[in-house]
């Protein structure tokens, strides 16, 4: 499992989340890309793993309004469309690499 990042920066005006790992980065993730990757029960069918979120419904100018640490294993992201149930583990963020 991935250790917690060395540094996490939310650049709110740009809508960019910047994550530096001990051995990589900083990696840049844009708000829309992260929103489309959301793996919560409202966006992905828990049983089949199929994405139920229509990514075309995600506005281009979506922003990240809040980030919150979940234990020492993940980040919880709140988006400007009101969606705030997405938990992004270090492993997942590492796997996504970058959305830009
Ligand atoms: Zn979601």
Q: Give per-residue pLDDT as tens, 3-53.
A: 899 999 999 999 999 999 999 889 999 999 999 999 999 999 999 999 999
Q: How far is the CA of 65 from the centre of ligand 1 (A)?
A: 15
Tell me: cis bond preceding 79? Omega within 30 of 0 counts: no
Q: How far is the CA of 49 from the centre of ligand 1 (A)?
A: 13
Give the strand order in the sheet containing 86-89: 64-70, 74-79, 86-89
Of 3.30.930.10, 3.40.50.970, 3.30.2020.30, 3.90.1150.10, the CATH number of 7-96 is 3.30.2020.30
Whole-structure pTM value? 0.91
Residue 90 has what pLDDT? 95
| Core vs surface per residue 65-93: b (16+ CB within 10 A) or e | beeeeeeeebbebbbbeebeebbbbbeeb
- Reference 84, options 63, 57, 61; nearest CA is 63
Q: Where are the domains of the chain?
A: 7-96
Ligand 1 (ion): residues with CB under 5 Å are 38, 40, 42-43, 86
């Amino acid at each position: 499992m991935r250790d917690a990042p060395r540094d996490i920066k939310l650049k709110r005006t740009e809508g960019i989340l910047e994550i530096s790992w001990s051995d990589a980065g900083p990696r840049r993730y844009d708000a829309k890309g992260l929103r489309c990757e959301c793996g919560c029960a409202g966006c992905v069918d828990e049983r089949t793993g199929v994405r139920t979120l229509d990514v075309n419904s995600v506005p281009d100018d979506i922003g990240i309004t809040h980030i919150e640490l979940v234990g020492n294993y993940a980040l919880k992201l709140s988006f400007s469309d009101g969606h705030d149930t997405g938990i992004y583990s270090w492993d997942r963020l590492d796997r996504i690499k970058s959305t830009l």
